[in-house]
């Protein structure tokens, strides 16, 4: 090799390293494109993507020379989906319906078991999640950061770090004998006064979480819990919201019974998780306060249908599905903001998109359900400026399906193309060419 050839190769390698984005101009030809901001569908659109961002979109965008062209002209293209209620960090939990399975594993086991689930979630079309708690506090922070660094493949995560709960309450690690000493991270968020709640919010904020998860009422999937118990007082909830806001964090409140829902809404939380016993007054209050509902409708059948579910969890779940579905319908009719939410892995990670069918069955149009999983989620997380729709300046989180999900929402259970921030992770049978 001549010195000149060597110099040329060195230059090319230098350029590729220094300017890796040079080759990253991508164009997507979209047969149909869902405008989630307006709730409409446009035909034959061109999306121009540079450096992971959407540079332009429209019917007559010119295609730069050398651009990579992804032909989705026979498909429906929409923004990457956002699941607003996941637990991606508890990888060992999916195989076993009992949280105590965590005790049979090390913290490392739990994190490593999450890796295939993170991939499954992304490949299902969920490019972003709001992850609302882990049995081992702060595992989610490390996982979020590993994905952001590109060390592992998964959705963009906004994490809570753990659960702020009363001792023995919905978010506590229960069902263990009182003489067993749990590790610090299984009771990190326990708080029993407004001041203790503030201290826990400060701990999570210092650990770099993206939102605060507080348990307003009892739970279904907690040993010894009574979902009708109020748990946190209005003063404690108000302290959580006030302290979280001082760090610029929103609060997600787990709440089943109507009193706990209303207490949390009045305290100013951003979202009610589950909202099982949501009544007319709760719906009115949520509408008034602009509170989102993260309903998690699909879980009831999974809890009932999983033979591994502990008997007490089955009993907590008995008879509440129809009440929950009615509460959801009430919220939709009242105009409450809805954010698509699954509570995976209560149902398997791969089945997250089945939630769409429940949302449509119980009151939403397919387009409304899609908006709940895009702009609805982006608004709740507070990232509407960069996620939720395919618009100039936003991140290139883009998925595609065969068929039109605004007519049949079940189509979203089979996402065939996934791009996150300009990088293609899944491309099933789609022609890719360089223009």
Q: Identify which of residues 236 and 343 has a Cβ nearer to Zn ion in the complex.
A: 343
- Taking alpha carbons only, the member of 269, 207, 206 closest to residue 242 is 269
298 binds Zn ion (CB under 5 A): no
Least distance from Zn ion to the Cβ atom of residue 350, Å: 18
Q: Edge-to-edge, what's the strand order for the sheet holding 126-131?
A: 81-86, 126-131, 156-159
- Window 325 to 344, contacts with Zn ion (CB under 5 A): 343
- The CB-nearest residue to Zn ion is 343
- Window 342 to 371, contacts with Zn ion (CB under 5 A): 343
Mention every residue, 6+ apart, whose C-beta is less than 8 A from residue 16: 22
Mention every residue, 6+ apart, whose C-beta is less than 8 A from residue 415: 81, 123, 124, 125, 353, 399, 400, 401, 426
Q: Identify which of residues 343 and 379 has a Cβ nearer to Zn ion in the complex.
A: 343
Least distance from Zn ion to the Cβ atom of residue 319, Å: 20
Least distance from Zn ion to the Cβ atom of residue 343, Å: 4
Q: Identify which of residues 89 and 357 has a Cβ nearer to Zn ion in the complex.
A: 89
Q: Identify which of residues 87 and 426 has a Cβ nearer to Zn ion in the complex.
A: 87
Quote the DSSP letter at residue 62: P
Q: Identify which of residues 77 and 170 has a Cβ nearer to Zn ion in the complex.
A: 170
Q: Identify which of residues 94 and 343 has a Cβ nearer to Zn ion in the complex.
A: 343
Q: How far apart are CA 101 and CA 135, in angstroms?
A: 10
Structure tokens at 274: 């589950």
Least distance from Zn ion to the Cβ atom of residue 88, Å: 11
Mention every residue, 6+ apart, whose C-beta is less than 8 A from residue 44: 29, 30, 31, 59, 73
- Taking alpha carbons only, the member of 36, 45, 83, 37 closest to residue 63 is 45
Least distance from Zn ion to the Cβ atom of residue 213, Å: 8
Q: Identify which of residues 190 and 343 has a Cβ nearer to Zn ion in the complex.
A: 343
The count of residues interacting with Zn ion (CB under 5 A) is 1
Question: Each residue of 267-281: b (16+ CB within 10 Å) or e?
Answer: bbbbbbbbbbbbbee
- Phi, psi (deg, nearest 5) at residue 158: -115, 120
**What is the contact surface with Zn ion in residues (CB under 5 A)?**
343
């Amino acid at each position: 090799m001549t010195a000149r050839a060597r110099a040329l190769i060195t230059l090319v390698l230098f350029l590729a390293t220094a300017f890796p984005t040079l080759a990253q101009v991508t164009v997507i030809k979209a047969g149909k494109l869902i405008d989630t901001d307006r709730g409409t569908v446009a035909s034959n659109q061109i999306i121009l993507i540079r450096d992971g961002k959407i540079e332009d979109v429209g019917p007559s965008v010119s295609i730069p020379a050398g651009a990579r062209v992804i032909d989705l002209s026979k498909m429906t293209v929409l923004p990457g989906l956002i699941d607003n209620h996941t637990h991606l960090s508890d990888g060992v939990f999916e195989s076993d319906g009992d949280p105590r399975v965590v005790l049979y594993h090390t913290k490392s086991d739990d994190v490593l078991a999450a890796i295939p689930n993170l991939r499954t979630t992304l490949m299902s079309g969920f490019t972003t999640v709001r992850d609302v708690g882990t049995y081992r506090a702060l595992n989610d922070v490390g996982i979020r950061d590993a994905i952001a660094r590109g060390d592992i493949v998964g959705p963009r995560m906004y994490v809570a770090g753990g659960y702020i709960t009363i001792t023995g309450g919905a978010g506590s690690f229960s069902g263990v004998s009182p003489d067993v000493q749990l590790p610090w991270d299984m009771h990190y968020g326990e708080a029993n006064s407004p001041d203790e709640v503030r201290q826990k919010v400060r701990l999570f904020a210092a650990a770099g979480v993206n939102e605060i998860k507080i348990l307003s009422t009892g739970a279904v999937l907690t040993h010894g819990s009574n979902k009708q118990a109020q748990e946190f007082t209005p003063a404690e909830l108000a302290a959580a919201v006030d302290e979280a806001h001082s760090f610029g964090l929103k609060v997600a409140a787990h709440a089943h019974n109507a009193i706990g829902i209303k207490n949390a809404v009045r305290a100013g939380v951003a979202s009610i998780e589950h909202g099982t016993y949501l009544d007319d007054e709760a719906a009115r209050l949520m509408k008034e306060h602009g509170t989102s509902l993260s309903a998690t409708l699909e879980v009831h059948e999974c809890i009932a249908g999983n033979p591994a579910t502990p008997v007490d969890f089955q009993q907590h779940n008995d008879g509440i599905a129809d009440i929950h579905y009615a509460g959801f319908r009430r919220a939709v009719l009242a105009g409450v903001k809805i954010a698509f939410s699954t509570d995976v892995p209560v149902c398997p990670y791969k089945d997250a998109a089945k939630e769409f069918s429940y949302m449509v069955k119980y009151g939403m149009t397919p387009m409304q359900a899609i908006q709940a999983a895009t702009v609805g989620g982006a608004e709740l997380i507070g990232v509407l400026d960069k996620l939720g729709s395919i618009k100039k300046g936003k991140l290139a989180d883009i998925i595609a399906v065969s068929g039109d999900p605004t007519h049949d929402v079940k189509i979203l259970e089979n996402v065939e193309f996934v791009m996150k921030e300009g990088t293609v992770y899944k491309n099933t049978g789609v022609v890719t060419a360089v223009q």
